[in-house]
Amino acid sequence: MVIADSTLSDEKIRQEILAGPLDGQALKVLTEAGLTWLKSNQQSVNALNVFPVPDGDTGTNMVLTMQAAWNEIANSKERNAGKMAHAIAQGALMGARGNSGVILSQIWRGFARGMDTLDTVDASVIVHALSESRATAYKGVVKPVEGTILTVIKDTAIAGEKALEKSTSLSALLEELVAAADASVRRTPELLPILRQAGVVDSGGKGLFFIFEGMLRYIKGQSLEAVQDILQPLSALEMEESMETIEPGQDYEVVIDFYPDEELQLEEFYSGLSDIGTSIQIGEGDGMYRMHIHVPTEKRYEAIDYTMKLGTITKVMIENLQAQMKDLSQKADRRPKLTPVEPGQVAVVVVSPGPGLDNIFASLGVSAIIQGGQTMNPSTEEIMQAFEHLPTQNVIILPNNKNIILAAQNVVGLTTKNIAIIPSRTVPQGISALLRYSPDGDFDEMVSEMKEALSEVETGEITTATRSVEINEVKVNKGEVISLLNGKLIHSTTSLEEAIFTLLENASTDEKERITLYYGADLGVKEVNRLADLIRKKYPSHEIEVHEGGQPYYQLIVAIE
């Protein structure tokens, strides 16, 4: 089957895909369908976060990874299915973000290998390609964990092999794959106890399911724009995140608070808004709804008129997006002064979640800073771009976040430079490692010493719970202040003061010498200084330091050493 005419109707394209076999253009169409449905359900994937922290970004990472894959082929006229698959895999590799995005890129890489350079592929080749996807994804993870996206691709591949015994139809195969992916996702809590405790399924596996389901929905002629989980809690609306994906023609951001006169028909409401603009988010709290949308200039009042027909509007906010982007750009231009590196020296590249931490990293001699952290993971390509221009072959990378390590490790095989990834999982670990850095030092010795330094500091994080849950015998109520020690949830309370002292007690701070507080964008200087004074009274023999971190969502990042 060859989709040669881009003017063909969707129905005609569907018929040709069902007739099979698939060529490169058919694979392109199915890839776009998978991306579109995943994007439609992005927030529901984000919500499947084990810990009740404001960084459940699996859906975002997978969407951005798939978007990069699509961008690689969007204008491609390639008819060869194998070559198209390799292009998709290359785009996914370079755009991979977070652990889920990296594993997704490995799934595409194996899929492309399974297709080799075949002009067209039938159901049997697709099943073989899925088996390669499974093998490549598992090999890409040092310690594979069952109950994750890995399990879902494994179960889906096995289901594909069994499906061939019944039928060689592409539609029948897709039906079996989607059913298997769904069943596998539902089983993930049985395999991973932490999921069962949190009352959620695996987010990466759910994202993969949506990709398969999007392909099936397309060939069935079903909508790819209808969102399953349109409604979110008000606290979950990501207004800042929506600024990351402004599309051409989006001139204004409109936010409306309103009380509907009757029960709000969400699907109908969302559908009506889709005719007006993009980046639609809908939240609800105590009967009040908040609607967020990006619109072109000529439609900036249409969302207001449309919503007014449904109820009573209490508040409207209209912002010029271009002005906001200009302001963000100006802020980005006020970058800290980085340390130049000479040929033959060792350069260090770090990932930093806030402007205050940027300044700290710069003062320690880094040559490049990548913006990212708990709430936005940089892609493999962004990490590469940070060091490729540096005039030295020797580069050390500090990811400073557990969800960025895999993307950083991806770059090792993509460059001719001598790259070492120090697996720093937190900002304090990154700073501890940097204290061993010398631009003229021996590369291998420095890498060894930096890795050793990671174990010399404990990391505490204080943030606000985004939902109610009970994990590891810690009962959390939405809106409470929670404490995490080395990534483990240890306490929940209504008091910031209690949160920090419980954290310090669990970190055996009496046996340590120094406590450093990096305060976030939402915590005032006066409050953090008050907390620091209380800590000094409790630990009079300790050295207490306070630094602006500027990180979002996390009131405090604490280093105990």
- The CATH number linked to 145 is 1.25.40.340
Judged by DSSP in three states, 52 sits in coil
Find the CATH number of the domain harbouring 372.
3.40.50.510
- Asked if 318 and 363 sit in the same domain, the reply is no
Shared domain check, 301 and 342: no
- CB count in 10 Å sphere of residue 284: 15
443-448: long-range contacts (C-beta < 8 A, 24 or more apart)? Answer: 443/346, 443/394, 443/396, 443/418, 446/346, 446/396, 447/396, 447/420, 447/422
Give pLDDT, residue 1. 41
Q: Is 204 in the same domain as 103?
A: yes
Q: How far is CA 73 from the centre of its chain?
A: 22
**227-252 as b/e: b if 16+ CB within 10 A:** beebbbeeebbbeebbeeebeeebbb
Looking at the structure, tell me whether residues 90 and 181 fall in a common domain: yes
Given 190, 220, 250, the domain boundary residue is 220
Looking up tokens 């005609």 gives: 12
176 domain residue, yes or no: yes
Of the CA atoms within 13 Å of residue 60, those in its CB half-sphere come to: 21
Q: What is the pLDDT of residue 473?
A: 87
pLDDT of residue 252: 87
Which DSSP state fits 471?
E
Q: What share of the chain is helix, strand, coil (3-state, %, to 5)?
A: 50, 20, 30
User: Of 295, 327, 359, which residue sits at a domain end?
Assistant: 327
Same domain, yes or no: 86 and 198? yes
265, part of any domain: yes
Domain of 301, CATH number, reads 3.30.70.260
- Please state, in angstroms and as integers, the Cα–Cα distance from residue 128 to each residue in 106, 225, 420, following that order: 15, 31, 35
Q: Is residue 2 part of a domain?
A: no
User: Is residue 19 located within the same domain as residue 167?
Assistant: yes
Separation between Cα atoms, residue 72 and residue 93, nearest integer Å:
11
Dist CA 118 CA 27 (whole Å): 12
Looking at 393, 427, 456, the residue that finishes a domain is 456
| Helix axes of 81-95 and 98-115: crossing angle, nearest 10 degrees | 160
Q: Are residues 427 and 447 in the same domain?
A: yes
Number of domains in the chain: 4
What pLDDT, on a 0 to 100 scale, did the predictor assign at position 518?
A: 96
Task: Let me know whether 23 and 130 are in one domain.
Answer: yes
Q: CA distances (Å), 151 to each of 32, 155, 182, 542, in order?
A: 24, 6, 12, 47
Domain around 162: 10-220
Among 215, 77, 58, smallest CA distance to 149 is for 58
Looking at the fold, whether 44 and 78 belong to one and the same domain comes out as yes
Helix (H, G, I), strand (E, B) or coil at 381: helix
Asked if residue 503 belongs to a domain, the reply is yes
φ, ψ of residue 148 to 5 degrees: the values are -125, -170
pLDDT by residue, tens only, the chain of 561 residues = 444 444 456 778 888 888 779 999 999 999 999 999 998 888 788 888 887 787 668 888 999 999 999 999 999 999 999 999 999 999 999 999 999 999 999 999 999 999 999 999 999 999 999 999 999 999 988 889 999 999 999 999 999 999 999 888 898 999 999 999 999 999 999 999 999 988 889 999 999 999 999 999 999 988 887 554 555 555 455 555 444 445 556 778 899 999 999 988 888 888 888 889 887 888 777 678 888 888 888 888 999 999 999 999 999 999 887 676 665 555 555 568 888 999 999 999 999 999 999 999 999 999 999 988 776 789 999 999 999 999 999 999 999 999 999 999 999 989 999 999 999 999 999 999 999 999 999 999 999 999 999 999 999 999 998 888 888 889 999 889 999 999 999 999 999 999 999 999 999 999 999 999 999 988 999 999 999 999 999 999 999 999 999 998 899 999 999
Q: Do 52 and 118 lie in a common domain?
A: yes
Residue 5 lies in a domain: no
CATH classification of the domain holding 513: 3.30.1180
Report if residue 3 sits inside a domain: no
Asked if 53 and 176 sit in the same domain, the reply is yes
34 domain-assigned:
yes
Residue 49 lies in a domain: yes
Question: Alpha-carbon distance 380 to 311, whole Å?
Answer: 46
Residues 205 and 154 in one domain: yes
